[in-house]
Amino acid sequence: MAEKSNYFVLRAKAVPEVLLKVVEAKRLLDSGKLESVQEATDAVGISRSSFYKYKDDIFPFYEGRKGKTVNLVIQMDDEQGILSVVLKSIADAKANILTIHQSVPVNGIASLTLSVDVFPESDDVDDMAKQIESLKGIHYVKILARE
């Protein structure tokens, strides 16, 4: 028997109003505009008990290009400093490197394979790849997989 999904996508009109208000209260708290649950629930017009009843069942849905582990392959010149510029570009995109493997250079070109954890607040993965590819000494950037 196939396993049933625990997650569903619903149109906003199909979601009870209290759940939409819990979502808005969580957004207010996450944004830092309001500091307490009491302030957030007052702002959206629900009780604190409603907020606490549903808050753990509502979490953000992230685009396929964000909030995932991404594998990149990069071909670069075997020159001092290029790898550090690549790593800085990834950090500037607010992503974390999970694994890194650089091959032994052949004919002055090194292959770099990275697993990168891209968080929802990170920049777009495609933009990050384009930024890396535009760097001096980089010949090729390919996104292999998005998990």
User: Over the stretch 64-90, which tens digit does the pLDDT of each residue have?
Assistant: 444 578 889 999 999 999 999 999 998
The answer to whether 17 and 54 have CB atoms below 8 angstroms apart is no
> Tens digit of pLDDT for each residue in 6-49?
666 778 888 889 999 999 999 898 888 888 999 999 999 999 99
CATH topology of domain 68-146: Alpha-Beta Plaits (3.30.70)
The answer to whether 125 and 67 have CB atoms below 8 angstroms apart is no
Q: How far is CA 69 from the centre of its chain?
A: 8
| Angstrom distance (rounded) from CA 41 to CA 6 | 27
